[in-house]
Amino acid sequence: MKLYEYQAKSVFKEEGIAIPNSLLISEYSQLENALEEVGAPCVVKSQVLSGGRGKAGLVVFTPTEEDARRETKRLFEHELNIKNIMIEEAIDIKQEIYVAITIDPVLATGLLMVSVEGGVDIETLAVDSPEKIIKEPIDMRYGLMPFQASQVAFSLGLPNDIAKQLRKIFLKLYNIFKKYDAELVEINPLFITNNNEVIAGDGKLMIDDNSMHRQLKFEKQEADYKTEAEYDAAQEGIPFIQFDGDIGLMCAGAGLTTTVYDLIHYEGGTIANYLEFGGPNYKKALQSMEICLKVPSKVILIVTFGTIARADVMAEGIVEAINRLKPDRPIVTCIRGTNEKEAVKTLRSAGLEPIFDTEEAVRKAVALAKGV
Active-site position among 4, 6, 98, 174? 98
Tell whether 354 and 320 lie within a shared domain. yes
pTM (2 d.p.) = 0.74
Tell whether 233 and 349 lie within a shared domain. yes
Does 12 map to a domain? no
Contact (Cβ atoms closer than 8 angstroms) between residue 99 and residue 113 = yes
Query: DSSP class of residue 4?
Result: P
In the prediction, which pLDDT does 282 show?
Answer: 63
Tell whether 190 and 311 lie within a shared domain. no
Q: List CB contacts of 295: < 8 A, sequence separation 6 or more.
A: 227, 229, 242, 248, 272, 273
Contact (Cβ atoms closer than 8 angstroms) between residue 274 and residue 249 = yes
CA distance 188 to 171: 17
β-pairing verdict for 198-200 and 271-276: unpaired
The CATH number given to whatever domain includes residue 176 is: 3.30.470.20
Query: DSSP class of residue 3?
Result: P
Contact (Cβ atoms closer than 8 angstroms) between residue 368 and residue 271 = no
The domain total for the chain is: 3
The CATH number given to whatever domain includes residue 360 is: 3.40.50.261
Does 203 map to a domain? yes
Does 173 map to a domain? yes
Q: CA angle, corner 302, sides to 300 and 304, nearest 5?
A: 170
Tell whether 209 and 232 lie within a shared domain. no
192 phi, psi to nearest 5 deg:
-110, 120
In the prediction, which pLDDT does 121 show?
Answer: 75
**Which of 218, 246, 277 is the C-terminal boundary of a domain?**
218
Contact (Cβ atoms closer than 8 angstroms) between residue 271 and residue 218 = no
Contact (Cβ atoms closer than 8 angstroms) between residue 235 and residue 212 = no
The CATH number given to whatever domain includes residue 41 is: 3.30.1490.20
Tell whether 236 and 327 lie within a shared domain. yes
Q: List CB contacts of 137: < 8 A, sequence separation 6 or more.
A: 104, 107, 109, 110, 111
**Which of 160, 194, 218 is the C-terminal boundary of a domain?**
218
In the prediction, which pLDDT does 139 show?
Answer: 96
Tell whether 136 and 114 lie within a shared domain. yes
Range of the domain at 253: 228-369
In the prediction, which pLDDT does 285 show?
Answer: 83
Does 1 map to a domain? no
Tell whether 101 and 207 lie within a shared domain. yes
Going by C-alpha positions, the residue among 33, 42, 29, 37 that lies closest to residue 68 is 42
**Which of 40, 65, 89 is the C-terminal boundary of a domain?**
89
Tell whether 151 and 180 lie within a shared domain. yes
Active-site position among 5, 96, 183, 186? 186
Does 6 map to a domain? no
Tell whether 56 and 101 lie within a shared domain. no
For 345-372, what is each residue's pLDDT tens digit?
Answer: 999 988 888 899 999 999 999 999 998 7
In the prediction, which pLDDT does 61 show?
Answer: 96
Does 207 map to a domain? yes
In the prediction, which pLDDT does 27 show?
Answer: 95
Question: In the annotation, is 186 catalytic?
Answer: yes
In the prediction, which pLDDT does 339 show?
Answer: 87
CA distance 291 to 274: 11
Tell whether 236 and 358 lie within a shared domain. yes
Tens digits of pLDDT across the chain (372 residues): 889 999 999 999 999 999 999 999 999 999 999 999 999 999 999 999 887 888 899 999 999 999 999 999 999 999 888 999 999 999 999 999 999 999 999 989 999 999 998 877 777 887 888 888 999 999 999 999 999 999 999 999 999 999 999 999 999 999 999 999 999 999 999 999 999 999 999 999 999 988 878 887 887 777 777 788 998 998 888 899 999 999 999 988 788 889 999 999 999 999 999 998 876 666 788 899 999 999 999 999 999 876 666 888 888 888 988 888 899 999 999 988 888 899 899 999 888 888 999 999 999 999 999 987
Alpha carbon 322 to its chain's center: 32
Does 3 map to a domain? no
Helix (H, G, I), strand (E, B) or coil at 173: helix
Going by C-alpha positions, the residue among 237, 353, 267, 228 that lies closest to residue 302 is 353
Does 352 map to a domain? yes
CA distance 174 to 177: 5
Tell whether 262 and 339 lie within a shared domain. yes
